[in-house]
C-alpha cells in the first residue's frame, strides 16, 4: 500500500498554493502522505519538531526551512502551535508557469534547484530567516506580487550555499514496493504512547509481525533501532520542557518517559548532540535575542 495521497486544491486565480498554519488554523494533512507537487515549508523560529521525509529522520529545535520534490513520502511537520508560532507551506508543480518555463536560459539555476529538491533540501543560517520573512510577507500579498516574490525566493535558494541535501530520493522508489501503511501505524502508535512504556510485543502486534521480524523490518527501513526511534520522541518532548518550563532536569527526565537520569543524559546527548543543561542555556540565549 502506498502512502496516503494528498490532493492539493488550489485557487483558479493562482498557479500555486500558499497556506499559513498557526494556533487558530492547524495543518490537517495526512501524517504519512505524498503528493506530486513540490513543497516549500517554513517553520517559525522557536518551534521544535521532527523531520520525517522519505527515509530521512532528524530533529529541529529553532524552526526550519525545507524544499522537497514530488512524491516523496513525509509526515506533517508541526502538529501543535503555541503563541506566535506558525508554519507556511507553498506547493507547486514543476510547470506551474507553463511547460517550457524551466527551459528558458534565465531559469537554468532554478531548474537545477528543482532537480536537487528531489533529494530534499534543508536550509540553515541567514538564508533560512531571510526566506522565512519573504514567505510571511507573501501571505499578505495579492496573487501577482506573490508570484514575483516566489520567483525571488527560488532564486535565493538556487544561489545560496547554506543548505544540505537530505538524500531522500531513493526512498521514493522503495516506498512503492513496501507496505508503508505499517510506518503510518508505527508512527501513530509511538506518537500516542511514547511517554509510557512501549513493549516490542505490543508494537509488533500492531503491524501483525513477530518481534524478530519487526525489529529486522524497522531497522532495515529506518536504519535505526525501534528503541532509538522512541527515545527520539522522548528527547523532543524533553527539549520542549527545557525550553518552556522551569522544571529541573531530573523532573523532565521522568516527565519524558525515562525512569533513569543517567540513561536520560546519555540518550539526550546522543539525540541532541549536547547535554540537557547546555541545551537549556542555548535556548535561553536564542529566546532573549
Domain co-membership, 33 together with 122: yes
Domain co-membership, 18 together with 115: yes
Buried b (16+ CB within 10 A) or exposed e, 82-99: eeebbbbbbbbebebbee
Domain co-membership, 131 together with 196: no
For residue 179, what pLDDT is reported?
55
Helix, strand, or coil (residue 63) = coil
Range of the domain at 131: 4-171
Domain co-membership, 145 together with 30: yes
Residue 155 reports pLDDT greater than 80: yes
Domain co-membership, 81 together with 156: yes
Domain co-membership, 152 together with 225: no
Q: What CATH number did the domain enclosing 98 receive?
A: 2.60.120
Confidence of residue 29 (pLDDT cuts 50, 70, 90): low
Residue 193 reports pLDDT greater than 90: yes
For residue 3, what pLDDT is reported?
60
Helix, strand, or coil (residue 205) = helix
- Low-confidence winner among 131-135, 163-167, 254-258 (lowest mean pLDDT): 163-167
Residue 285 reports pLDDT greater than 60: no
Domain co-membership, 19 together with 149: yes
Domain co-membership, 95 together with 199: no
Domain co-membership, 190 together with 102: no
Domain co-membership, 67 together with 185: no
- CA neighbor of 152 nearest in space, from 121, 123, 109: 109
Last residue within a domain, chosen from 127, 144, 171: 171
Q: Look up residue 75 and give its three cell numbers.
A: 509526515
Residue 236 near residue 214, CB atoms below 8 Å: no
Residue 176 reports pLDDT greater than 50: no
Last residue within a domain, chosen from 171, 189, 214: 171
Last residue within a domain, chosen from 148, 171, 194: 171
Domain co-membership, 157 together with 215: no
Q: Is 247 exposed, middle or buried (0-12, 13-18, 19+ CB in 10 A)?
A: middle
Domain co-membership, 244 together with 117: no
Amino acid at each position: 500500500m502506498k502512502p496516503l495521497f494528498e490532493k492539493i486544491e488550489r485557487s483558479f486565480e493562482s498557479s500555486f498554493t500558499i497556506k499559513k498554519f498557526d494556533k487558530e488554523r492547524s495543518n490537517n494533512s495526512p501524517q504519512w502522505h505524498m503528493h506530486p507537487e513540490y513543497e516549500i515549508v517554513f517553520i517559525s523560529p522557536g518551534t521544535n519538531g521532527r523531520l520525517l521525509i522519505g527515509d530521512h529522520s532528524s530533529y529541529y529545535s529553532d524552526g526550519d526551512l525545507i524544499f522537497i520534490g514530488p512524491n516523496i513520502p513525509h509526515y506533517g511537520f508541526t502538529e501543535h502551535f503555541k503563541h506566535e508560532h506558525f508554519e507556511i507551506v507553498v506547493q507547486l508543480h514543476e510547470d506551474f508557469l507553463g511547460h517550457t518555463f524551466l527551459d528558458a536560459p534565465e531559469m537554468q539555476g532554478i531548474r537545477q534547484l528543482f532537480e536537487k529538491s528531489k533529494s530534499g533540501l534543508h536550509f540553515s543560517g541567514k538564508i533560512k530567516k531571510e526566506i522565512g520573512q519573504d514567505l510571511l510577507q507573501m501571505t499578505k500579498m495579492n496573487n501577482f506580487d506573490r508570484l514575483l516574490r516566489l520567483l525571488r525566493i527560488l532564486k535565493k535558494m538556487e544561489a545560496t550555499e547554506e543548505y544540505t541535501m537530505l538524500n531522500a530520493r531513493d526512498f521514493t522508489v522503495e516506498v512503492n514496493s513496501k507496505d508503508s501503511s505499517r510506518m503510518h501505524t508505527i508512527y501513530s502508535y509511538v506518537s500516542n504512547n511514547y511517554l509510557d512504556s512501549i513493549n516490542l510485543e505490543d508494537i509488533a502486534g500492531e503491524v501483525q509481525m513477530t518481534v524478530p521480524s519487526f525489529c529486522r523490518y524497522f531497522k532495515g527501513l529506518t536504519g535505526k533501532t525501534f528503541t532509538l526511534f522512541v527515545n527520539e520522541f522522548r528527547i523532543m518532548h524533553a527539549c520542549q520542557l527545557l525550553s518552556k518550563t522551569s522544571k529541573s532536569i531530573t523532573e523532565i527526565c521522568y516527565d519524558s518517559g525515562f525512569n533513569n537520569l543517567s540513561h536520560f543524559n546519555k540518550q539526550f546527548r546522543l539525540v541532541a548532540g549536547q547535554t540537557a543543561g547546555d541545551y537549556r542555556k542555548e535556548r535561553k540565549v536564542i529566546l532573549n535575542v
